[in-house]
Amino acid sequence: MAFCDDREDINSFLLSVTKSLLEKYEIPPSSIGRIDVGTETLIDKSKSVKTLLMDLFPGNSDIEGIDSKNACYGGTAALFNACNWVESSSWDGRYALVVAGDIAIYAEGGARPVGGAGACAMLIGPDAPLVLEPVHGTHMANVYDFYKPHLSSEYPEVDGPLTQTCYPTALETSYDHFRLKESRRLGNAKGDKKDVSLDDFDYACFHSPYGKLVQKGYARLMYNDYLSNPSAEKFATVPSHLGELDRATTVLNKEVEKTFTALSSAEFKAKVGPATLTSKKLGNMYTGSLYGALASLLDSVDSQTLQGKRVAMYSYGSGLAASFFSLRVKGDTTEMHTKLQLKQRLEANQVRPCEEFVQALQLREDKHNICDYTPAGRIEDVPVGAYYLAHCDGKHRRVYKVRGEEGKADVVENGNNAPEAQQIA
């Protein structure tokens, strides 16, 4: 599980991944026409993280887009917004950027081990090697399974048992909507869920609070396939009485869970396993979790194998918002694989004792919402080339630096419109 102390925050995270994408792919700042950000790690109740990212685009203030917030779903909302812009009559021919990430931390107790941290950036434009397919199945509802009402704290209120039912229920409901829409797209005017199943996907990426929930989720989808087509050969060993149960009553049914977890085990390993690298190493990245899974897939499977393959995507955000959608690989992913270097970067992470994790969270807790201070966290713990928080002044205005080689650091250019205290000579 990844973590950070007060030396990094969500602004520094998203500045770092945006800068990295622009540099690795040699993207001119002037070629970006929209930036959509997904995060639930709020520093300010008014000022968006997107406005901080504008420091990376000198001379280009004509950039649409802003932050999206709803728990872990914000990254998907940002992706849909960016893709819709590129497809719209408002598109001006430039690229869009989607930036998503969070610092997932919990108060002392049972939920703390399912935290994590991380961020990602994605370039959106025409003729992309990964194509967002047009059908989305979405489920939204008013639920208090996880929420952050305490503005004086980073920690959420969590109803663990409720989350255990919300995640799979939202998954199968959004899957229902996807299957019906996809069936109609395929020519069945009335729509029939039986027309679409897990067999139509080569891989699957899930929002991953923790691994076991993802495995249960995949098993739940297979159970839904069984209900739609119980006579399929793959379900020959399933006890017939499981098909007679009311689906709504089976969310926590252990016989259903065990039967379909066992039945889907090999398929889960083949289709979902390659997409679990970041969740295993970084924990829950909240808005970045699903897209960390996608990066894991691109890193784990070579371009030739991926060609023409279809990837199921499940995004879930508490509160709640969920979507089931799909991507198709239609171009060479070799460059992404090469420049991601995901395995190497994850292996380079330093393993720290649990005491340091607890101390880092206590430091963040002590410094939350205070101003006129310099962080106490070690700059040496920040990766070379990444941003870190250098100072927060008496009016809560934040200044960031980039960690350079041999202790050399570059200050972020805050722009001519910044307050005098923030302007960099």
What does the DSSP assignment read for 107-160? -SSTTGGG-EEEEEEEEE-TT-SEEE-S--EEEE----SEE---TT-SPPEE-H
State whether 402 and 302 are in the same domain.
no
Q: Is 371 tagged catalytic?
A: no
216 labeled binding residue: yes
Considering the entire predicted model, what is its pTM? Answer: 0.94
Last residue of a domain, one of 347, 380, 403: 347
The dihedrals phi and psi of 346, each to the nearest 5 degrees, come to: -70, -40
* Whether residues 268 and 309 fall in one domain: yes
Kindly give the pairing relationship between strand 146-147 and strand 409-411: unpaired
Query: How much is the CA Rg of the chain, to the nearest whole Å?
Result: 22
Looking at the structure, do residues 279 and 132 belong to the same domain, yes or no?
yes
Q: Tell me, yes or no, whether 155 and 237 share the same domain.
A: yes
Starting at the edge strand found earlier in the chain, the sheet holding 409-411 runs 387-392, 398-403, 409-411
Query: Any binding-site annotation on 212?
Result: yes
Q: Count up the domains in the chain and report the number.
A: 2
Residue 72 is among the residues annotated as catalytic for this protein: yes
Cα-based angle 217, 40, 420 (whole degrees, multiple of 5): 160
Question: Around Cβ 298, how many Cβ atoms within 10 Å?
Answer: 23
Omega into 186 within 30° of 0, i.e. cis?
no
Q: What is the DSSP letter of 383?
A: P
The range of the structural domain enclosing residue 144 comes to 10-347
- 364 in a structural domain: no
Q: Which of 40, 154, 172, 257 is catalytic?
A: 40
- Tens digit of each residue's pLDDT, the chain (425 residues): 999 999 999 999 999 999 999 999 999 999 999 999 999 999 999 999 999 999 999 999 999 999 999 999 999 999 999 999 999 999 999 999 999 999 999 999 989 999 999 999 999 999 999 999 999 999 999 999 999 999 899 999 999 899 999 999 999 999 999 999 999 999 988 888 899 999 999 999 999 999 999 999 999 999 999 999 999 999 999 999 999 999 999 999 999 999 999 999 999 999 999 999 999 999 999 999 999 999 999 999 999 999 999 999 999 999 999 999 999 999 999 999 999 999 999 999 999 999 999 999 999 999 999 999 999 999 999 999 999 999 999 999 999 999 998 656 566 545 444 444 343 32
Query: Is the same domain home to 104 and 31?
Result: yes
One domain for residues 174 and 285? yes
- For residues 394 and 341, membership in a common domain is answered with no
Rounded to whole angstroms, how far apart are CA atoms 187 and 171? 24
**Would residue 152 count as lying in a domain?**
yes
Q: Does one domain contain both 375 and 342? A: no
49 located within any domain = yes
Among residues 177, 207, 257, 392, the one annotated as catalytic is 207
Tell me if 363 is assigned to some domain: no
Residue of 72, 83, 120, 392 marked active site: 72
Instruction: Tell me, yes or no, whether 253 and 391 share the same domain.
Output: no
- Residue 355 belongs to a domain: no
Tell me, what CATH number does 316's domain have?
A: 3.40.47.10
